[in-house]
Amino acid sequence: MLLVLSTFPTEDQAREIVRALVEEGLLACASVLPPVRSIYRWRGAVHDEAEVLALLKCPAGGYPALEKRLRELHPYELPEIVAFEPAGGLPEYFAWADRAGRDQA
């Protein structure tokens, strides 16, 4: 399983995109968090904006397809898509996340 972080401009957009990714079998599940504050430099200016963070749980072998589809659906020109391999966790949860992406368990 991989944990993928992505930010969205609104909760509605995050929910809509995450739901599509789950329905398409690219994610086992995702957690959409309350607004976070993002401060970043983009095109020479510093921005300070509220965004919504989603924690996406992806079967490890499915990451390339997830990245491709998330880029297609995402409203940002350059979306934040950062994947991590957890160092540990409940093996049964990881097994479920891996199966869920393939067979919509």
Residues in contact with 83: Cβ distance below 8 Å, sequence separation at least 6, in sequence order? 2, 3, 4, 5, 58, 63, 67
- What distance in Å separates the CA atoms of residue 55 and residue 41, rounded to the nearest whole number? 23
Residues in contact with 73: Cβ distance below 8 Å, sequence separation at least 6, in sequence order? 17, 20, 21
Domain count, the chain: 1
* CATH number of residue 94's parent domain: 3.30.70.120
pLDDT of residue 102: 63
pLDDT of residue 18: 98
- Structural domain that includes position 77: 2-103
Kindly tell me the sign of the dihedral angle through the C-alpha atoms of 59, 3, 38, 16.
positive
Question: Which residues in the chain show pLDDT less than 50?
Answer: 104-105
pLDDT of residue 105: 42
DSSP H or E stretch at residue 33: strand 29-42
pLDDT of residue 103: 60
